[in-house]
């Protein structure tokens, strides 16, 4: 029995050791962003053996991001000696809040579209039998597998001829297409977990099939619909490729595009980058917390049975 | 034999009305776009030479991009990157899924925390890891603080293949959670009594893993591996910010040809080449689970 105890102890030690490594690997890069965003630029750029926060942390960069759009005057970075080259970065950083808002508008629109269209379509696939269902379902699922880069060129041509480049609408439409297949797949799995009896009794009571969906199934599935909505929100919030060729003006930029812009400047402005990154994480982590409570891993299992 | 046409039942009518909007929405965008991409690959489409746009030039676009100076290296790097990503991410994912399937205090929290990088935009992931690897970045800083390294390491001054390995870390950071979660779900498929029986019979942990767990999750591993290969092959965002927008794998050049060098014909030709590779991978997926099964498992209890 003593032997058994030792085995158990080592098992626990090994499990916690590896868990600690995993948690460190996942969180360390994110934590460094928050540290970097409150470190003066000169100290981030200093040789790695020099200490940071010599004069203490600074909130200058956050003040700049939140203050500049409201007319607060920031002409120079007190922590830097070379100013002129940063003019471009600085003028665009004025738009950070607007850019965050743009990302939110597009992502929320995509989420709404997904819940509405995806909710309806998935219901039909789960509860109703109709000719061609296998073909349509497989088509919708597989359409997601070809990479978005292939759509890029023709989609640009479509938007250009419609004159909707540089609008958030063009982005919303294309994000809808790339997120819908997943939503439909997830929701078909979700509807299966809801008992069919209530809808059947609604049908017996004289509801039409659509009414049974709208008045019974749709409200009951709210939790799954919310998960699907959040999921598509995140997919849209994270997309760079489509934003990159559709949106050229800074007023309609989204967050990934802005991060890409900051990273491609020849003269990198570390502290501003860290501050923007830190702000980017907040909404997705909040989403993830909600999603984590809604999304049950075991629900996904059904799809994997083979 | 004449085709039988029968009146639709009310159920079928409703179903079609519900499915068709989504179907048309996706159909118009994807099928139209794909066929346009295919068509553009065979015509001249240089935005800087508007008078020649739309002229049919056969395979010239393909010959041009295959002959381009970047093509050979890019294909080579793309395959190396895809292979490394798939092998490393999937094998680590298997390890993580085994670990997080154990029952211990705080497992829920660990599962949640490792999921965070997956939610973060890939663009951000690429940039974070570049900032980590700078000369004055956090790896050097903490390494020297703890006395592990004496001199700062110039990670980003290394050759392209090394850079790809570093980019792989960013890709892994972003993709590992998803792979682990899917494989964890697969573990739930294993019948509990089977594992218990093996334990009672005295099979060691390794033997249980090898003879009970593995056969059950083999298919899922294959699927996840192909999915990861597709993701790595078409990886764009992470490499874009990781490299500061100066290099990337094949998708980067497809984008650059079209939107930086204004030659949509070349971009479309590259997209078609990418699509061919992806289609091969998709057909492997379909060999593992036939379409009928995809539908059935999503449909039938």
C-alpha to C-alpha distance for B271 and A246, rounded to whole angstroms: 18
Instruction: Assess whether A110 and A251 both reside in one domain.
Output: yes
Q: Which domain holds residue A61?
A: 2-91
At A146 the pLDDT is 75
Q: What is the CATH number of the domain that holds B187?
A: 1.10.3720.10
Instruction: Assess whether A195 and A78 both reside in one domain.
Output: no
Count up the domains in chain A and report the number: 2
Taking CB atoms and an 8 Å limit, are A154 and B33 in contact across chains? Answer: yes
- A164 reaches B (C-beta below 8 A): no
DSSP B95-140: HHHHHHHS--TTHHHHHHHHHHHHHS-HHHHHHHHHHHHSTTSHHH
| Phi (first) and psi of residue B263, to 5 degrees | -115, 90
| Residue B27 belongs to some domain of the structure | no
If one compares A203 and B290, the residue with the highest pLDDT of the two is A203
pLDDT category of residue B1 using cuts at 50, 70 and 90: very low
- A44 reaches B (C-beta below 8 A): yes
Q: Which domain holds residue B119?
A: 73-272
Which residues contact residue A40 at a Cβ distance below 8 angstroms, ignoring those fewer than 6 apart?
Answer: A55, A58, A60, A79, A271
Q: pTM of the entire structure?
A: 0.87
Contact assessment for residue A179 and residue A262, using Cβ atoms and an 8 Å cutoff:
no
- A206 reaches B (C-beta below 8 A): no
Nearest C-alpha in B relative to A179: B26
What average pLDDT score do residues A184-212 get? 83
Instruction: Assess whether A37 and A154 both reside in one domain.
Output: no
- B199 reaches A (C-beta below 8 A): no
* pLDDT single digits (tens) B190-208: 777 888 888 888 878 788 8
Instruction: Assess whether A149 and A243 both reside in one domain.
Output: yes
Closest chain B C-alpha to A66 CA, distance in angstroms:
20
Q: Which of residues 268-297 of A touch B (CB under 8 A)?
A: 270, 273-274, 277, 280-281, 284-285, 287-289, 292, 297
Count up the domains in chain B and report the number: 1
* pLDDT single digits (tens) B37-71: 888 889 888 877 878 777 888 888 899 889 988 89
Closest chain A C-alpha to B91 CA, distance in angstroms:
15
pLDDT category of residue B33 using cuts at 50, 70 and 90: confident
Is residue A26 predicted with pLDDT exceeding 90? Answer: yes
Q: Which of residues 139-158 of B touch A (CB under 8 A)?
A: 140-141, 143-145, 152
| Residue B255 belongs to some domain of the structure | yes
pLDDT category of residue A24 using cuts at 50, 70 and 90: very high
Which residues contact residue A94 at a Cβ distance below 8 angstroms, ignoring those fewer than 6 apart?
Answer: A68, A69
Q: Which of residues 49-88 of B touch A (CB under 8 A)?
A: none
* pLDDT single digits (tens) A107-147: 999 999 999 999 999 988 888 888 888 888 888 887 877 77
- B93 reaches A (C-beta below 8 A): no
- B29 reaches A (C-beta below 8 A): yes
| Residue B39 belongs to some domain of the structure | no
Mean per-residue pLDDT of chain A: 83
- A125 reaches B (C-beta below 8 A): yes
The sign of the torsion formed by the CA atoms of B18, B19, B22, B23 equals negative
Mean per-residue pLDDT of chain B: 85
Last residue of a domain, one of A91, A112, A128: A91
Taking CB atoms and an 8 Å limit, are B30 and A284 in contact across chains? Answer: no
Closest chain A C-alpha to B138 CA, distance in angstroms:
7
């Amino acid at each position: 029995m003593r032997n058994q105890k030792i085995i158990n102890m080592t098992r626990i030690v090994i499990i916690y050791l590896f868990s600690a490594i995993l948690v460190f690997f996942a969180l360390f890069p994110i934590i460094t962003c928050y540290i970097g965003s409150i470190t003066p630029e000169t100290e981030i750029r200093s040789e790695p053996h020099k200490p940071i926060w010599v004069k203490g942390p600074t909130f200058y960069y956050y003040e700049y991001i939140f203050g500049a759009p409201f007319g607060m005057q920031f002409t120079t970075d007190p922590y830097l000696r070379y100013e002129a080259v940063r003019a471009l970065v600085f003028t665009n950083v004025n738009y950070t809040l607007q850019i965050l808002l743009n990302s939110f508008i597009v992502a929320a629109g995509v989420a709404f579209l997904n819940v509405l269209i995806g909710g309806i379509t998935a219901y039909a696939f789960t509860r109703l039998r109709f000719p061609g269902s296998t073909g349509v379902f497989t088509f919708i699922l597989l359409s997601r597998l070809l990479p978005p880069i292939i759509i890029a060129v023709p989609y640009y041509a479509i938007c250009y001829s419609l004159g909707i480049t540089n609008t958030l609408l063009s982005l919303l439409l294309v994000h809808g297409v790339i997120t819908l297949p997943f939503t439909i797949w997830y929701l078909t799995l979700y509807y299966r977990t809801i008992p069919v009896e209530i809808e059947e009794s609604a049908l017996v009571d004289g509801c039409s099939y659509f009414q049974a969906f709208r008045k019974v199934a749709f409200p009951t599935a709210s939790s799954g619909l919310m998960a699907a909505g959040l999921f598509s929100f995140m997919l849209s919030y994270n997309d760079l490729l489509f934003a990159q060729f559709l949106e050229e003006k800074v007023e309609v930029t989204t967050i990934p595009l802005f991060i890409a812009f900051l990273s491609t400047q020849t003269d990198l402005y570390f502290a501003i980058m860290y501050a923007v990154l830190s702000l980017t994480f907040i909404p997705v982590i909040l989403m993830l917390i909600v999603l984590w409570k809604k999304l049950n891993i075991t629900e996904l299992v059904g799809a994997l049975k083979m | 034999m004449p085709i039988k046409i029968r009146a639709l039942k009310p159920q079928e009518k409703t179903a079609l009305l519900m499915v068709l909007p989504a179907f048309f929405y996706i159909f118009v965008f994807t099928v139209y776009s794909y066929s346009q991409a295919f068509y553009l690959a065979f015509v001249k489409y240089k935005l800087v030479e508007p008078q020649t746009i739309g002229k049919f030039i056969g395979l010239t676009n393909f010959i041009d991009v295959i002959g381009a100076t970047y093509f050979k290296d890019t294909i080579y790097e793309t395959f190396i990157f895809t292979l490394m990503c798939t092998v490393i991410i999937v094998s680590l994912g298997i390890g993580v899924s085994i670990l997080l399937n154990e029952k211990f205090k705080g497992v829920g929290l660990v599962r949640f925390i490792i999921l965070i990088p997956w939610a973060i935009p890939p663009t951000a992931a690429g940039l974070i890891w570049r900032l980590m690897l700078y000369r004055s970045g956090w790896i050097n800083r903490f390494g020297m603080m703890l006395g592990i390294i004496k001199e700062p390491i110039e990670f980003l001054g290394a050759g392209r293949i090394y850079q790809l390995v570093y980019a792989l870390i960013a890709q892994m950071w972003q993709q590992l959670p998803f792979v682990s979660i899917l494989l964890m779900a697969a573990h739930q498929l294993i019948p509990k009594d089977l594992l218990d029986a093996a334990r009672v019979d005295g099979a060691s942990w390794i033997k249980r893993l090898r003879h009970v767990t593995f056969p059950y999750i083999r298919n899922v591993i294959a699927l996840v591996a192909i999915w990861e290969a597709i993701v790595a092959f078409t990886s764009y965002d992470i490499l874009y910010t990781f490299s500061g927008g100066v290099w990337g794998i094949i998708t980067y050049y497809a984008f650059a040809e079209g939107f930086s060098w204004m030659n949509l014909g070349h971009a479309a030709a590259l997209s078609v080449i990418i699509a061919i590779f992806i289609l091969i991978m998709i057909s492997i997926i379909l060999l593992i689970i036939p379409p009928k099964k995809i539908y059935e498992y999503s449909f039938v209890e």
